[in-house]
Amino acid sequence: MGKGAKLDMRIGFIGDIVGKPGRKMVKYHLPTIRKELELDYVIANYENASHGFGLTPKNANELLNAGIDLLTGGNHTWDKREIIPLLESDLPILRPFNYPDGVPGRGYALLDGRLAVINLMGQYGMPPVENPFIRGREIVQKLRGEGISNIFIDFHAEATSEKRALFLMLRESITALVGTHTHIGTDDLTIVGGAGYLTDIGLTGCRDNVIGMKEDVPIQRFLTGLPGHFDIPDRCRAILQMVIFQMEDGVCREAFKIKAYDRTPYQIVQRAYIEE
């Protein structure tokens, strides 16, 4: 993996930022994390950032000003219609790559010509999109053909098997893949064949309810089957979850996950090293 000029870097990825509590955690902790861990780039998933559904221009600027270099999306990308001009602008905001041609925005970006970030969305339990395995393989091959060795994928998908299968298909051609969407972090951080992997990073936001939302409506849904509007609590216990990858010439050498609870300092909770 990874031929050409040496491209060492350390990147951080933050999972689904859910509402104001998630944004507050990013603003409070990220400056310290970036400095102490000497991160070259920070990527974050925005699709729940504005009261749990989508992203407003105000909140986009808030997150980018907090120290995030690139924002990735998912099935709630379109919930705030005012995001469309942002997606068509030069701002570093993506939507899933495997939407059909003609959909506003773009699904991958190059950061300083050193790092390619691809945003893909799964098919199981998701809105209709093109096959992420076919489209994902196409864009990875294109980037590799252009000499890009460091490639990171945010795969926004429901099924753990879908995430794992995509990683195993692409592991010899990418540097890392992390799953988002379920809001529940998994403990399978690993580096296989020089590529980092985590099935789901988990949410950044409220941690004492149901996937960052007030519990009353989800409970009533399970009891009655009737729909209701999910809401974000005004106050809650919060968490920030982030995974760090050390990359060198397209190879992931080291990975670790950190968590921060409320305003306590972050902790390293998982580590992985390259397996020979």
Strand partners, 42: 12
CA-CA distance, 193 to 231, in Å (whole number)? Answer: 42
Amino acid letter, residue 175? T
CA–CA separation, 68 and 90 (whole Å): 15
- Nearest-CA neighbor of 170 among 190, 196, 145? 196
- Selecting among 29, 76, 181, 183, the annotated active-site residue is 76
What count of residues does the chain have? 276
For residues 197 and 213, what is the distance between their CA atoms, to the nearest angstrom? 27
76 as an active site residue: the answer is yes
The helix or strand, by DSSP H or E, that contains position 140, with its residue range, turns out to be: helix 132-145
Angle between helices 160-170 and 132-145 (to 10 degrees): 30
Residues 252/159, Cβ–Cβ less than 8 Å: no
Catalytically active residues, by annotation:
76
